[in-house]
């Protein structure tokens, strides 16, 4: 969703959800990105909610609402109510745990089935610091990500590796998508042959649910 800002410039509001098996490091990744903390005692109280972060990419202001689970994934109880209206999803697996990678594939299938290409996907292979215990091949994960139109990144929330890249790349993709969507709307309005229609682009009512294919 894009909203008009002061002087006609805009800021973009995006919802991101974290998905993946329990214990793969979802909460740790969010906490590392937003607060630059690891294994902090806030970790349990932060669950079940979302954190916000403001970023600026290519001169565009973006507000991210990053939703973390409350641990429901451990009981297979995460439903569409959690990820609906999301612009982006971060699918996390643990590189030492093959099952967690299979779980990511299940999530990709579900998201594509429920939301189509309206959602931008990033797959994160976390716990890169445990490389010696790796059970998921990097090549396999990268090939899979490419196949499903997702970006793949390796991360370590513990050592702060790849975390910034993960969120920035996802944000960049969501922005591209929103900008393309805005452009389509402008084109559609101008095709309507009414010059005054063009001004509607700055109307927040027109801009809600601004999504397009990634």
* Closer to Mg ion by Cβ: residue 27 or 155: 27
> Which residue in the shown chain puts its C-beta closest to ligand G3D?
25
How far, in Å, CA of 157 to CA of 104, rounded?
18
Partner that binds at residue 24, options ligand G3D, Mg ion, none, CB closer than 5 to 8 Å by kind: ligand G3D
Partner that binds at residue 172, options ligand G3D, Mg ion, none, CB closer than 5 to 8 Å by kind: none
* Closer to ligand G3D by Cβ: residue 61 or 158: 158
Residues binding ligand G3D (CB under 6 A): 20, 22-28, 39, 126-127, 129-130, 156-158
> Smallest distance, Å, CB 199 to ligand G3D?
45
Beta bridge mates, 20: 92
Partner that binds at residue 88, options Mg ion, ligand G3D, none, CB closer than 5 to 8 Å by kind: none
Interaction of residue 100 with Mg ion, rule CB under 5 A: no
- Are residues 124 and 155 in contact, defined by beta-carbon separation less than 8 angstroms? yes
Partner that binds at residue 39, options ligand G3D, Mg ion, none, CB closer than 5 to 8 Å by kind: ligand G3D
How far, in Å, CA of 89 to CA of 78, rounded?
14
Q: Return the HEC string of 43-97.
A: HHHHCCCEEEEEEEECCEEEEEEEECCCCHHHHCCCCHHHHCCCCEEEEEEECCC
Number of residues written out for the chain: 214
* Closer to Mg ion by Cβ: residue 13 or 69: 69
Beta bridge mates, 45: none
Interaction of residue 210 with Mg ion, rule CB under 5 A: no
Partner that binds at residue 86, options ligand G3D, Mg ion, none, CB closer than 5 to 8 Å by kind: none
How far, in Å, CA of 114 to CA of 116, rounded?
6
* Closer to Mg ion by Cβ: residue 27 or 86: 27
- Are residues 10 and 60 in contact, defined by beta-carbon separation less than 8 angstroms? yes
Interaction of residue 27 with Mg ion, rule CB under 5 A: yes
């Amino acid at each position: 969703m894009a909203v008009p800002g002061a002087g006609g410039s805009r800021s973009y509001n995006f919802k991101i959800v974290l998905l993946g098996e329990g214990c793969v490091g979802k909460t740790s990744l969010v906490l590392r990105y937003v607060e630059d903390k690891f294994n902090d005692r806030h970790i349990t109280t932060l669950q079940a909610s979302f954190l916000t972060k403001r970023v600026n990419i290519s001169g565009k202001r973006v507000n991210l609402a990053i939703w973390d689970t409350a641990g429901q994934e451990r009981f297979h109880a995460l439903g569409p109510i959690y990820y609906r209206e999301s612009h982006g999803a971060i699918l996390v697996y643990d590189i030492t745990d093959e099952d967690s990678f299979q779980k990511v594939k299940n999530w990709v299938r579900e998201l594509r089935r429920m939301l189509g290409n309206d959602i931008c996907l990033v797959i994160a292979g976390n716990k890169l610091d445990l490389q010696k215990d790796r059970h998921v091949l990097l090549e396999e994960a990268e090939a899979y990500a490419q196949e499903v139109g997702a970006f793949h990144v390796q991360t370590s929330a513990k050592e702060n590796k790849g975390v910034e890249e993960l969120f920035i790349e996802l944000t960049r993709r969501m922005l591209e998508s929103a900008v393309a969507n805005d452009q389509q709307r402008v084109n559609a309005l101008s095709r309507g042959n009414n010059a005054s229609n063009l001004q509607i682009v700055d109307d927040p009512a027109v801009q809600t649910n601004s999504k397009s294919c990634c």
